[in-house]
Amino acid sequence: MKYRIAYAGFALESVSSSPFIIDQDLFEKNALHGTELLEKQKGTNTVAGGVIEQLEEESMQCIPIFESNAGALGPASDNAVRYAEHEIITGLQAAGHLDGIVLFLHGACWAPSYPDVEKYIIDAVHHAFPDTPIVVALDYHGNVNADTFTHAKAAVAYHHSPHTDMGETGKRAVKILSRILRTGQIPGFALAHPNIVIPSIMSATALEPLASIIASARNLEKTGDCDISVMAGFAYADSPNTGMTVMCVDWDGQHAAHDKADQLTKALHAERKAISTAQPVMSVEQMLQTLTPFAPKSRPTVVLEHADRLNDSTHGMHALRGKPVGRVAVPFLFDPHTAKQAVTAGSGAEIQVALGGHSSHHAGTPLTATAKVIWSGEKSYAVSGRMMHGAQVNLGATALLEIDNLRISVVSVFAFAIDGDPFYIFNERPEDYDVILLRSKTHYRDFYVPRAEQILIIDTPDLGPANVKQLIYKQLNTSTAYPWHQ
Ligand SMILES: [Zn+2]
C-alpha cells in the first residue's frame, strides 16, 4: 500500500505596522483545493510543485488539501487565520487515512490575536491528527523559534533568496517525511538564533559574508547526514521571534543538530555588522545625481525602491517624472482603482489619475496627472522567470499608462515584478527602457543583475527601511538583538 501524504499551505509575509489588512476574502480568492491544487501546481517551481514531484518519485500518494498564498502584504486578519485553519483541518478530516502531512507556511505571517500564526496552524493540525507526523516547509524570511515546531517533526526553509529553490524545498520536506515513515527514525531538530535583525534588502544570499556562511552550511550537509536552513527572518513583522534563525534537521541525532546550528549561529553573529551593511543604499537625491546628465546606455539602470512593501509607493515616481533620465518603466504598481478606471476608459483614452500611495501615508502622495491609456483590460500569465516558474498569475484589471517620461503598468492584485514578465505581457522588453523602477528586495536579482547597467538602491521614508532602528517594535525584545545591542 502506498503511503498517503497530505499537503496544505497557507502563506503571507506580513508587515505588521501596515494598515492594509488582508482579510479572509483575499485568501478565499487565491485558494486552491484538492485536484485543482494538484493540477495547477504540478510542474511549477513552487513548494507544492516540489512536494507533488517528490511524492511521485517516492511512489507515495499526494493528497492535496488546500493552499492559499497571499504574497507579501500587511497583517492577516484573525478571521483569515481561522479560515485557513478551518480549510486545512476539515480538508484533512475528509481525506481518509493519512500517513504524513507536509505543511507550507511562510513563517512571517502576523495577525492581531495570534502571536505565532505558523505555530497556531501546526498545533491545530497536530491536535486533530496527534499520531500523524508533520514536516513543515518555510520561506527563508520566516520568523520562527523552537516553540513554533513543538508539534512538527522537522522544518526546512528555502536556501536561496531570490527563492529559486521553492520546488526543491518542497522536495526536501518530503524526503525527510519519507525517511521518517520508512525507517521509523525521528531526526534531531535544532534551532538557534544569532539575535540579528536584518532588513530584507540585505538578505540576498549572494551577498558576502552571508554567502560564505551559507556555503559552509552546504559543506556541513556534504560531510554529515543533515538538512540545514539559514534563515534571514523578516524585520518588518514584529513578533518575539523576529530575526535570523539557523535550523538543522540531523539524522545523527539531537546533539549533532545542536552543534551545527550553534556553529553557524556563531558565524552569523561574528559577521553581524558586515551582513547588515552588505551593499550601499542611497538617497533619492543621490540616485538622481547618478542618473543625470542622461547618457543612453545599451542596458537599463534598475532603481530599487526597496522600502516599499505594498508595491504602491510613489516616492520614486515623483522623483523620476519629468527628469532628464530617459524612458522610465514602473512595472506592476498596485492600484486597483486606477486600473479599473483605465479599463472603463479604454485604450487610447486620456484620464485624470491619482496614482499609487493609497496603502498608507508612508507610501507617498498619489501621483496626480493626466495619463494616456496605452493598453487596458484583464491580464493573466504563467511565470517565465525561475522563481515560481510556471505558476499562474492573475493580475485582474490591468492598465499600461503613460505619464510624461514614465510608463506604468497598473495592476489590481499584488504581484512580484522580478523578471521579464511585466514587459513581455505587453509585447515589450526591459531593454526598451533607460530606467526600470522596481520594488523588489532580493528576488529581482536572478533576472536583472545580469541585464542591468547598474542597480541603484534608494531608501525612501516607507514601511521597510534599510535601517531597522527606525522601526517601532512592541513584541520583539530589541535590547538583546543587533543592531540595538551591538
Ligand atoms: Zn521570502
pLDDT in tens, 437-477: 999 999 999 999 999 999 999 999 999 999 999 999 999 99
Q: Helix 254-270 crosses helix 210-223 at what angle (to 10 degrees)?
A: 160
Q: Distance from the CA of 352 to the center of ligand 1, in angstroms?
A: 36
How many A from CA of 72 to the centre of ligand 1?
8
Q: How far is the CA of 137 from the centre of ligand 1 (A)?
A: 12
Separation CA 357–CA 365 (nearest Å): 5
Secondary structure of residue 99 in the 3-state scheme: coil
Query: Could you tell me the distance, in angstroms and rounded to a whole number, from the CA of residue 13 to the centre of ligand 1?
Result: 8
CB-count exposure of residue 95 (10 Å: 0-12, 13-18, 19+): middle
Distance from residue 161's CA to the centre of ligand 1 (Å):
7
CA of 8 relative to ligand 1 center, distance in Å? 18
What's the CA-to-centroid distance between 377 and ligand 1, angstroms? 30
DSSP annotation of 112: T
Q: Give buried/exposed letters for 149-179 (b at 16+ CB in 10 A, else e).
A: bebbbbbbbbbbbbbbbbbbbbbbbbbbbbb
Q: What pLDDT is recorded for position 353?
A: 98
pTM as predicted: 0.96
Residue 419 CA: distances (Å) to CA of 156, 353, 449:
26, 27, 11
Q: Mean per-residue pLDDT for 237-243?
A: 97
202 Cα: distance to centroid of ligand 1 (angstroms): 12
Question: How far, in Å, from the CA of 349 to the mean position of ligand 1?
Answer: 38
CA of 106 to the centre of ligand 1 (A): 8
Residue 99 Cα to ligand 1 midpoint, Å, equals 29
Distance 208 CA to ligand 1 centre (A): 18
| CA of residue 140 to ligand 1 center, whole Å | 5
In the chain, where the domains are located: 4-276, 284-465
C-alpha span between 316 and 337 (Å, rounded): 20
Q: What pLDDT does residue 335 have?
A: 98
What pLDDT does residue 312 have?
Answer: 96
Q: Give dist(CA 429, CA 451) in Å, integer.
A: 11
356: left (phi over 0), alpha (psi -120 to 50) or beta: left
Mean pLDDT of 136-160: 98
Please count the other Cβ atoms lying within 10 Å of the Cβ belonging to residue 227: 25
Asked if residues 79 and 114 have their Cβ atoms less than 8 Å apart, the reply is no
- Give 284-307 pLDDT, tens digit per residue: 999 999 999 999 999 999 999 999
**Three-state SS at 17:** coil
Amino acid at 444: Y
Q: For residue 7, which of 186, 94, 196, 136 has the smallest C-alpha distance?
A: 136
DSSP letter assigned to residue 300: P
* Cα 291 to ligand 1 centroid, rounded to whole Å: 30
> What pLDDT score was predicted for residue 343?
98
When pLDDT is averaged across residues 354-374 and rounded to a whole number, the result is: 96
The C-alpha atoms of residue 298 and residue 177 are separated, in whole angstroms, by 49
Going by C-alpha positions, the residue among 16, 139, 10 that lies closest to residue 74 is: 16
Mean pLDDT of the chain: 97
Residue 443 Cα to ligand 1 midpoint, Å, equals 8
**Separation of 235 CA from ligand 1 center, angstroms?**
12
Q: What does the radius of gyration of the chain's CA atoms come to, in whole angstroms?
A: 22
Measure the CA–CA gap between 121 and 125, rounded to whole angstroms.
6
1 pLDDT more than 90: no
Question: Cα separation of 4 and 31, whole Å?
Answer: 22
10: CA distance to ligand 1 center in Å? 14
Residue environment code for 450-463, b if the CB has 16+ CB neighbours within 10 A, otherwise e: eebeebbbbbbebb
**DSSP string computed for 420-465:** SHHHHTTT--GGG-SEEEE--SSTTHHHHTTT-SEEEEE--SSSS-
What pLDDT was estimated at residue 65? 98
Q: Tell how far the Cα of 468 is from the centroid of ligand 1, in angstroms.
A: 17
CA distances from 416 to 359, 388, 455, 476 (A): 16, 10, 18, 28
Indicate the helix (H) or strand (E) that contains 87. Answer: helix 78-93
Angle at 200 between CA 197 and CA 205, to 5 degrees: 100
Distance 439 CA to ligand 1 centre (A): 14
